[in-house]
């Protein structure tokens, strides 16, 4: 692939496809995950969970269970006095300025269960099987209440998920200029309307969630081992808001984590329960979800229902956009749930287009389903799917070519920085180039011949495009603070140079499959000239790393990497002073390149390792002017979001007899800013595209009208398999981010954001002879067949 980076260094610096150092342990089965940890005297916990979507707990009897073999303790909501509920990290305000409804999320249910899987008791025993046996002996009498879903939550008279939240409405929020939007619509030649859903997804990280609470009664120290993407955030939320444990007495460790995709950002009740109960029984407690619990209790993703309207003039120029969305919050507010359908969604509705007037309104509703929160892309896939479907439908309705209508409305390269009508200011991008590269790579021009060849075989072939943009590198603290975020979103890095010149990096980001131990090490190789095998990355333990915010929103390199660069700048500045002293030169004359300090214009040099040794063995050292040691920490708060974008093209073939959609080809051309490791970028994009294809064709979380999870296992929830996918060709086209020192934008989510509309646009294109305007995701065989079959029936009736 084209890395956009010239002169890739022969060592493991920026631009080199260094093999992932973490893969030796991952691929040989020697990763060390939370469930691999066993603490001395450890007990095991099993949660009693509600089998009903919505029910009052009439009675709860633990007496029989308490007498079962091996039972150590049983706790219910009634025992959990004096502690808080699990907090929400983002305050959203209603249109009228009042704050959102924020009902408590108790650690164990208090009087009422609000989704299938809501925890009502925890049973602790010597073994996992004993805990599970005893949990079955806990008797709970429920008064079952009506389930509340997206279809009825806002209906007048609907049952209330929370008694003190009228109408199940969490908030009614808006953004943009309504008057400008209405003016634009009043003068429009065309108004294109599209109703669409964004299907609810279940994350399904390979490693289920797990948590171990540990407590040392002699010191009062609490430790939580957990499957988290952000251990410091968990420590702050759980310590300060739930359990009232000061930070110096609470350590949170997130060791190897087997996939997160957002679902392991959030502070879950199980973490608080095992930490709290471990102190009560003064023994460690382990809980690990089985796959059924993962389906029932991991925060789900997406779940929007929207009406979108686009106003255009006679040339197909976009004049205005109006979007009204209902977003499902589930039963309780998960950590970042409220930000996803607002600031991570509606701010993206300009996309790559110059639409001058945009107005979006979002109603967030409570339902008796598991909480919904960020899942790979978080809000941006929802915005992208809506916009890129709407643009295709606009092309169809106006008769303008789908590429031409995009080109006419693209933000042009000379318009950057570009201020959108929905808060964001894009710093850089080149949508024309990524489009042209994508069209060429996908052989768009040759498609009609391929369509004809498929037709001769009885197949319907379609091609679809998505020219997308996203905002990541989360986030400028002051900006998000003004928008309701209750945390700063900077990142921290410590560069610890050891006496012989090797380096340990302490980063606040967290790697759960992304390859940080490789990519971040490459930054050190590049900037300090230290060999790759002399750099280690440490993350995931609040006892080791400074207070950092973790990994989500494609932020680790753009924010965490930038913090490391700042810290390395400090290292180099100090080392130059030491080198100047050793070489008896003025510090202004000392240059640093390729791991070597040189007095400019001379052959006097000092290796980086020599300086490091001098810093720690300061015998010949300007001790009055410079402190010994070579370790620096920097905090980096980004000035703006980063804006990756690009062009995704999907090609599909439909078998009309069965409705089966086969992915034939997928082309991704992404601008992710400077590429540090092209191999890892390619893998990240391919993984994201696989998830996007999963959403578009396969995955559907389905609750029954009684609130039961019908897609509650891999027997009924379709995760993409290798043969569901197509070859995914990945290329990059780089425009640099203008406001971070590396020029990087982030690549973790682009695949999942850009791909779903490309796939559905291809499906709709394949079905064009059936006069299909839109297909909601997932495009399953049954759905496609019913569209074709329904069309045939209509034709027969006419």
Partner 1 sequence: MYDFDYHKPTTVADAVALLAADPDAKAVSGGHTLIPALKHRLNKPTSLVDLSGIAEMKGIKQVGNAIVIGAFTRHVEVATSALVKSTIPALAYLASHIGDNQVRNRGTIGGSVSNNDPAADYPSAVLGLGATIHTSSRKIPADEFFLGMFTTAMEPDELLVAIEFPIPEKAGYAKMKNPASRYVMAGAFVSKGPAGVRVAINGAAACVFRQAEMEAALAANWSPEAVAGIKQPADDMNSDIHGSAEYRAHLVTVMAKRAVAAAG
Interface with partner 1 (CB under 8 A): 132-133, 136, 292, 657-660, 698, 700, 702, 710-711, 714-719, 780-782, 785-786, 789
Which of 122, 121, 128, 130 shows the shortest CA–CA distance to 38?
128
What is the nearest approach in angstroms of partner 1 to the Cβ of residue 261?
19
Which of 16, 15, 17 shows the shortest CA–CA distance to 4?
15
Which of 300, 112, 106, 327 shows the shortest CA–CA distance to 203?
300
Return the number of other C-beta atoms located less than 10 Å from residue 793's C-beta: 11
The two beta strands, 55-61 and 605-607, are: unpaired
- Counting beta carbons within 10 angstroms of the beta carbon of residue 183, is it exposed (0 to 12), middle (13 to 18) or buried (19 or more)? middle
Question: Taking the CA atoms of the chain, what radius of gyration do you get in angstroms?
Answer: 28
452 to each of 442, 460, 651, 767, 770, how far by Cα in Å? Answer: 17, 9, 14, 14, 16
Cis before residue 747, ω within 30 degrees of 0? no
CA dist 682 and 668 (Å) reads 10
CA dist 702 and 705 (Å) reads 10
Residue 109 · residue 120 · CB < 8 Å: yes
Classified as helix, coil or strand, 755 is helix
Length of the chain, please?
A: 798
CA dist 366 and 624 (Å) reads 63
744 to each of 198, 381, 449, 642, 768, how far by Cα in Å? Answer: 29, 21, 39, 8, 40
Residue 200 · residue 328 · CB < 8 Å: yes
Half-sphere exposure of 787 (CA within 13 A, CB side): 24
688 to each of 162, 289, 756, how far by Cα in Å? Answer: 36, 25, 10
Which of 384, 331, 450 shows the shortest CA–CA distance to 647?
384
For residues 23 and 136, which CB has a smaller minimum distance to partner 1 in the complex?
A: 136
Residue 457 · residue 656 · CB < 8 Å: no
What is the nearest approach in angstroms of partner 1 to the Cβ of residue 199?
12
Which of 794, 779, 772 shows the shortest CA–CA distance to 396?
772
Tracing tokens 């108790």 back to the chain, one arrives at 106
SS3 content of the chain, % helix, strand, coil (to 5): 30, 25, 45
Q: What are phi and psi of 530, to 5 degrees?
A: -90, 140
Residue burial 609-625, b: 16+ Cβ < 10 Å; e: rest: bbbbbbbeeeeebeeee
The two beta strands, 660-671 and 55-61, are: unpaired
Which of 119, 117, 121, 118 shows the shortest CA–CA distance to 138?
121
Q: Which long-range contacts (CB under 8 A, 24 or more apart) does 761-764 make?
A: 761/388, 761/389, 761/392, 761/402, 761/462, 761/464, 761/465, 761/466, 761/650, 762/462, 762/463, 762/464, 762/650, 762/651, 762/652, 763/462, 763/464, 763/652, 763/654, 763/661, 763/696, 764/392, 764/462, 764/464
What's 298's DSSP letter?
Answer: S
Which of 176, 41, 735, 170 shows the shortest CA–CA distance to 415?
735
For residues 167 and 781, which CB has a smaller minimum distance to partner 1 in the complex?
A: 781
For residues 63 and 782, which CB has a smaller minimum distance to partner 1 in the complex?
A: 782
Half-sphere exposure of 112 (CA within 13 A, CB side): 15
For residues 417 and 790, which CB has a smaller minimum distance to partner 1 in the complex?
A: 790
Classified as helix, coil or strand, 658 is coil
What is the nearest approach in angstroms of partner 1 to the Cβ of residue 714?
7
Residue 507 · residue 539 · CB < 8 Å: yes
């Amino acid at each position: 692939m084209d890395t956009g980076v010239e002169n890739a260094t022969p060592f493991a610096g920026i631009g080199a496809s260094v093999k992932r150092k973490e893969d030796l342990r991952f691929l040989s089965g020697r990763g060390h995950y939370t469930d691999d940890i066993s603490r001395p005297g450890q007990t095991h916990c099993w949660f009693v969970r509600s089998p009903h979507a919505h029910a009052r707990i009439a009675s709860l009897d633990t007496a029989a269970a308490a007498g079962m073999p091996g039972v150590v303790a049983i706790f219910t909501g009634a025992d959990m006095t004096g502690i808080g509920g699990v907090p929400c990290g983002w305050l959203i305000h209603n249109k009228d300025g009042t704050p959102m409804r924020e009902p408590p999320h108790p650690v164990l249910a208090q009087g009422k269960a609000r989704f299938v899987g809501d925890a009502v008791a925890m049973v602790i025993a010597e073994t996992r099987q004993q805990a599970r046996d005893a949990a079955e002996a806990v008797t709970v009498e429920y008064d079952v209440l009506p389930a509340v879903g997206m279809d009825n939550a806002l209906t007048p008279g609907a049952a209330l998920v929370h008694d003190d939240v009228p109408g199940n409405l969490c908030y009614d929020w808006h953004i943009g200029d309504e008057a400008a939007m209405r003016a634009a619509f009043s003068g429009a030649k065309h108004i294109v309307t599209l109703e669409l859903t964004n299907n609810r997804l279940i994350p399904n990280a390979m490693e289920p969630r797990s948590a171990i609470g540990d407590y040392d009664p002699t010191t009062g120290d609490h430790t939580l081992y957990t499957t988290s993407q952000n251990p410091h955030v968990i420590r702050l939320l759980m310590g300060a808001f739930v359990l009232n444990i000061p930070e110096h007495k609470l350590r949170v460790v997130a060791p190897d984590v087997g996939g997160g995709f957002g679902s392991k950002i959030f502070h879950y009740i199980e973490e608080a329960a095992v930490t709290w109960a471990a102190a009560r029984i003064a023994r460690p407690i382990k809980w690990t979800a089985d796959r059924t619990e993962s389906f029932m209790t991991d925060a789900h993703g997406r779940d929007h229902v929207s009406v979108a309207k686009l106003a255009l003039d006679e040339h197909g120029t976009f004049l205005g956009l109006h979007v009204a969305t209902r977003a499902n919050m589930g039963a309780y507010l998960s950590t970042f749930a409220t930000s996803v359908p607002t600031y991570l969604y509606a701010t993206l509705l300009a996309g790559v287009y110059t639409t001058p007037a945009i107005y979006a309104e979002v109603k967030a509703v409570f339902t008796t389903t598991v909480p919904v929160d960020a899942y790979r892309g978080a809000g941006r896939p929802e915005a992208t799917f809506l916009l890129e479907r709407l643009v295709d439908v606009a092309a169809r309705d106006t008769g303008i070519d789908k590429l031409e209508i995009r080109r006419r409305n693209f933000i042009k390269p000379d318009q950057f920085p570009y201020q959108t009508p929905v808060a964001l200011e894009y710093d850089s991008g080149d949508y024309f180039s990524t489009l042209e590269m994508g069209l060429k790579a996908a052989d768009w021009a040759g498609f009609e011949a391929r369509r004809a060849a498929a037709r001769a075989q009885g197949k319907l072939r379609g091609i679809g495009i998505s020219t997308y943009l996203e905002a990541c590198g989360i986030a400028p603290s002051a900006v998000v603070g003004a928008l309701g975020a209750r945390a700063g979103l900077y990142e921290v890095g410590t560069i610890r140079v050891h006496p012989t010149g090797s380096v340990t990096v302490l980063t606040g980001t967290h790697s759960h499959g992304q390859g940080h131990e490789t990519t971040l090490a490459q930054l050190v190789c590049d900037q300090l000239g230290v060999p790759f095998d002399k750099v280690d990355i440490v993350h995931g333990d609040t006892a080791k790393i400074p207070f950092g915010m973790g990994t989500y929103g494609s932020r680790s390199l753009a924010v965490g990497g930038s913090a490391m660069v700042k810290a390395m700048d400090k290292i180099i500045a100090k080392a130059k002073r030491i080198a100047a002293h050793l070489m008896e030169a003025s510090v202004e004359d000392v240059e640093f390149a390729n791991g070597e300090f040189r007095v400019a214009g001379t052959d006097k040099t000092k290796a980086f390792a020599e300086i490091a040794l001098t810093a720690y063995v300061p015998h010949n050292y300007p001790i009055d002017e410079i402190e010994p040691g070579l370790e620096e920490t920097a905090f980096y708060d980004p000035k703006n979001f980063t804006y990756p974008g690009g062009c995704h093209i999907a090609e599909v073939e439909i078998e009309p007899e069965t409705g089966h959609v086969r992915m034939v080809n997928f082309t991704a051309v992404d601008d992710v800013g400077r590429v540090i490791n092209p191999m890892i970028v390619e893998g990240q994009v391919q993984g994201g595209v696989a998830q996007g294809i999963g959403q578009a064709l396969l995955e559907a979380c389905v609750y029954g009208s009684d609130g039961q999870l019908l897609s509650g296992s891999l027997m009924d929830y379709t995760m993409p398999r290798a043969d569901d996918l197509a070859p995914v060709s990945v290329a990059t086209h780089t425009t640099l981010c203008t406001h971070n020192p590396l020029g990087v934008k982030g690549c973790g989510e682009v695949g999942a954001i850009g791909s779903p509309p490309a796939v559905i646009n291809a499906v709709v294109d394949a079905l064009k002879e059936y006069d299909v305007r839109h297909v909601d995701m997932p495009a399953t065989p049954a759905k496609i067949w019913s569209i074709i079959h329904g069309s045939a029936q209509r034709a027969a009736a006419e």
